[in-house]
Amino acid sequence: MFDRRLVINFDWILLLTVCLLVGIGIVNLYSATANWQDLSTPFYMKQLIWLGGGLTLVLLLCCFDYRHLEHFAVHGYVITLGMLLFVLLFGKASMGATRWIDLGFFNLQPSEVIKIAMILLLARIFGRTAHLQGFRLGELWQPALWLLLPVVLILKQPDLGTALMVIFIAGSMLLFAGLQRATLFGLGVLGGLVAVAGWFGLHDYQQDRIQTFLNPEADPLGRGYHIIQSKIAVGSGGFLGKGFLQGTQAQLSFLPERHTDFAFSVFAEEWGFVGCGLLLFCYFFLIIWGLYIARHAADRFGMFLAIGVTAMIFWHIVVNLGMVIGLLPVVGVPLPLFSYGGTNMVTTMIGVGLLMNVSMRRFMF
């Protein structure tokens, strides 16, 4: 029987916040690509289509109890892992990387989908095994193994940015699950050693990105061009910005990848400090609301599910904004709900649907 409480507790606040962010992003995408005349379908129109598909998925996800997903978490993880293997063998290559499965009407990026699968799996594991004393290092071998497999496959594509996102999401969920001090110290030392050793396993262009981050002016017309132009765009916006469609870095095509990785740079130049402040406030509210949903979830699985989705959105925001203002290396991480990208939009909207599902059923025990 249909429960009227689901309608009464429909999370309009979350949905409207997400729609506001996507709406601002589509307007910004229109501006970023306004002088691209050779496109059969403008990017902002494609983004509207992805938004429609994403909202449909949100509504569909709200129609069934999220707790059923706990029983299929392992199956979803295995299927997505198989998709990552398929990409390495038969995937579509572009710009030196093999990350996509060509479905004809849509290029699917399984490394984006694995984020949701990983969140579901870890929510199942931590929901069943987390305890007040916190995890010991020896108790983490199983989630570490589940995490290691997709990270290695994603690094083989290669896609350092997405691999880091998966690690950050898992790490955030683990911190919320609880760690003993000795475990936290051990993981810190292990992480440092892996980071040092991992440097020698990076591709040349990945090492170049990190070196460019440390000194972009060393090659201003080559490796440092992206970040220098991005910082110019952000800084030239001033307090109130140059105005819609008036940003010189974007409209005169100085700013590369301005519809994807550097979409925020376009927005900062046109809307200035005030516009950026309002946008960041919307993102801050979204993160706080996600934590609120986790805090009031009806069960532990729902709590960790909400934490995982919130962490996914949070780390994308932090890394992308750090990239565009020169605080972090450029690793190709989009700004969620804002940058152009079909798979990322759909993945993020699936996360939003899971958040809404947990929120709507917070009263059910």
Please write down the HEC assignment for all residues of the chain: CCCHHHHHCCCHHHHHHHHHHHHHHHHHHHHHCCCCCCCCCCHHHHHHHHHHHHHHHHHHHCCCCHHHHHHHHHHHHHHHHHHHHHHHHHCEEECCEEEEEECCCCEECHHHHHHHHHHHHHHHHHHHHCCCCCECHHHHHHHHHHHHHHHHHHHCCCCHHHHHHHHHHHHHHHHHHCECHHHHHHHHHHHHHHHHHHHCCCCHHHHHHHHHHHCHHHCCCCCCHHHHHHHHHHHHCCCCCCCCCCCHHHHCCCCCCCCCCCHHHHHHHHHHHHHHHHHHHHHHHHHHHHHHHHHCCCCHHHHHHHHHHHHHHHHHHHHHHHHHCCCCCCCCCCCCCCCCCHHHHHHHHHHHHHHHHHHHCCCCC
> Model-level pTM greater than 0.85?
yes
Q: CB 238: neighbour CB atoms within 10 A?
A: 12
* pLDDT at residue 33, as a whole number: 86
Q: How would you class 308 by CB atoms within 10 Å of its CB: exposed for 0-12, middle for 13-18, buried for 19 or more? A: buried
Say what the pLDDT of residue 1 is: 42
Q: Please give the backbone phi and psi of residue 102, each rounded to the nearest 5 degrees, phi first.
A: -80, 110
Rounded Cα distance between 160 and 224, Å, is: 19
- Domain ranges for the chain, please list them: 7-360
135 and 178 in contact (C-beta within 8 Å)?
yes
pLDDT of residue 149: 93
pLDDT of residue 327: 86
Mean pLDDT by 10 residues, the chain (365 residues): 67 93 94 77 88 91 89 93 89 71 78 93 92 84 91 87 92 91 86 77 69 66 78 89 86 80 92 95 96 93 96 95 87 89 89 94 70
